[in-house]
Each structure stands twice: as structure tokens, then as C-alpha cells.
Amino acid sequence: RPRPRPPRRDLETSDRSVTAAMARPSKPRKAQQQPRRSASGRGLLAGVVLAAVAALLGLRGRLAGVAERPSLVRTTCSRRDYKPAVPGCSPTGDACGRLVLDGFASAEELAGLRAIAARGMALGGGDGGPTILDLQSGALSWRDKFIDVWAAFNASGTPPFTTRDVAVYADVVRRIRSLAESTFGVSGLHLTAPTFFSRHSGDRPPKTEHDEYWHVHVDTLQYGSFTYTALLYLADGDVDFSGGRLAFVDDRWERPLERVVPRPGKLVLFSSGHEHPHHVERVESGERLALTVAFTCDPEAALHDFLSRAVPEPEAEGEGG
């Protein structure tokens, strides 16, 4: 059996319930004559009705913006990663895992994050499908390279982001970090680079190998400092685009173990090591929009003020001295 191909630099993490776990479809059964319902059959029917009501109530909660309780899938941590270990923070043993949480971000938060991505990406755009916007470093895809989005604001005469504009971004990152620490039972996580927006356009073929975001990769190999990776989806995989599912694969980097269909507000959170090789399936049409947020246990790799380049909000007339 050939060895897995080495990872390439990907653009989503390079771009990423448990909605679509891989399962073989069950074979349809032949129609049979319906037997007369017994008392046990009536009890079973009542149970089905109660389950349907419970599911309906859960759906109503999701439509109202109430996040569901996350379901954590535990995995054994890779021994190759998370070194040097930071006590109380670095995952060890069976403490690694992944979860998918619907409804993490509210409609208001989603609107604010989409507005940031649209406004920044309007100043650039990659030729080959992916467009990346990193407000901390300023990196913005433009044709086949990167430019500085803050310099692009100045050059175009467009007002840059203010602290008020990006406040929703900072708040969402804080909430994701809090969820990561409580879910995995750790403390002392730091935001790390890169943390960025990604847009994948299905109508643009790749121009360079870096545009081929669909290759399997491991985040600790790709980015070094990552301990936990979070992906927040800002577009709908059944409405805004087709393809583009996040797929976790086995340790041979071959067989899909789990596929996740992006939904607005859905959060995927997982330990970043070799226990979680994954990739984004190729976007076939439309535009896939997501936010990648990464955390580390290494204080030297921490980002302490990742939105420091945003300008202060101007004072309204009559305020101040």
C-alpha cells in the first residue's frame, strides 16, 4: 500500500451532527403485510411519537438561536505532537477529541463577521479559488500573492476597520477559547497565528499548488504552534455552495471517518495533532466562507492583541474635551 502523500500548504486551516458521519446506506426492505398492532406495538408507536415531538422541540430551539449541547468524540492524542508539554494545557493520553456544535454564533454575530470578510476581501481576491484575510498580519490574497489589507485601505482611500467594526470578531474568539478550555478540561490557551477568514470560490480553477486546498493535512505539521483548531462556518453548504465538506480521515489518510456539512453558525473544534488528519472537499460551485481560529499552549507563540491594527472609533461631536 503506498504511503500517504506529504501535506501541502493548505489555505483553510489552510481554509473546515457530526451531521454526516460515514455510514453505509441501509438496503430497502421488501414491503410486508402489516400485522395487527399489539399492545407492545402501540407502545412502540407512542415512543416514536414522543421522539418526534422531542426532535421538533430541539429544532425549534435551534431556529430560535439556542446552541445545542456539544457532543465530544474522544480520540487518543498523537505522541508526535504537543511538545514540549505544558502542564494543565497540552492534551495527553485520551484527552484529545473533536466536536461539532450547531448554533454557536448568533445571527447578529454572523452578520458582523460576514461584513468584515466582505469589506476586507473587496480590496483583493485570489486568482485560483481561495481568498484569505488575516487581520492580525494584514495578509490578503491578491491574484497569486498576498498584500497588506491595511496598506490597501490607505492606498484606496477606503476607511479602515475600527475597533467597533471588529468588536464582534474579538468577542467570538473569546467565546471559542472559553468553550475549548471547558470542553477539553484545560486552561491557559492562547490565541495563535494564523487566525483568518477564508473564501473558496467554486468557479475558479487553481493557479498554483497552494490553491489546491483539498489535500489531507495535519494542522500541527502545517502551522507548528496549533494545539486546538476551531472552524466557524459563515455560509450554508446546501444553499450558498456545493461540495466543501470538512472530512476527517483515518491514520492512513485514506478512508473518511466523518464528514461535516458547513452551516452558518456551526462550530467545529478539534485537537490539532496527527489524531485528526483532515481536508476540505473541493467546492464545486458557489462560495464557501469560514473563519479559522487557532489556540496554542506555548506562550511564546501567543497573539496578545490580534486586532491592534484596527483604528480607534472616532469620538462623536460634543464628546471629549
Paired residues of 135 in beta bridges: none
| 3-state secondary structure at position 288 | strand
Catalytic member of 175, 282, 288, 309:
288
Query: Residue-wise over 289-306: b if at least 16 C-beta within 10 A, else e?
Result: bbbbbbbbbbeebbbeeb
Question: Grid coordinates standing for 16?
Answer: 473546515
Please state whether 220 falls in left (phi above 0), alpha (psi between -120 and 50) or beta: alpha
Q: Is 288 a catalytic residue?
A: yes
Please state whether 103 falls in left (phi above 0), alpha (psi between -120 and 50) or beta: left
Cross-sheet strand order for the sheet of 20-21: 20-21, 256-260, 246-249, 278-280
C-alpha 270: how far from its chain's center? 9
CB atoms within 10 A of CB 104: 23
Nearest 10 degrees: CA dihedral of 305, 163, 235, 275?
A: 10
Beta-carbon contacts of 19 under 8 Å, excluding residues fewer than 6 positions away, are 100, 259, 260, 261, 263
**C-alpha closest to that of 241 among 129, 144, 152:** 129
Q: Give the ranges where the chain is alpha helix by DSSP (H).
A: 39-63, 107-121, 149-156, 167-184, 219-223
* Total residues belonging to the chain: 321
Residues involved in catalysis = 288
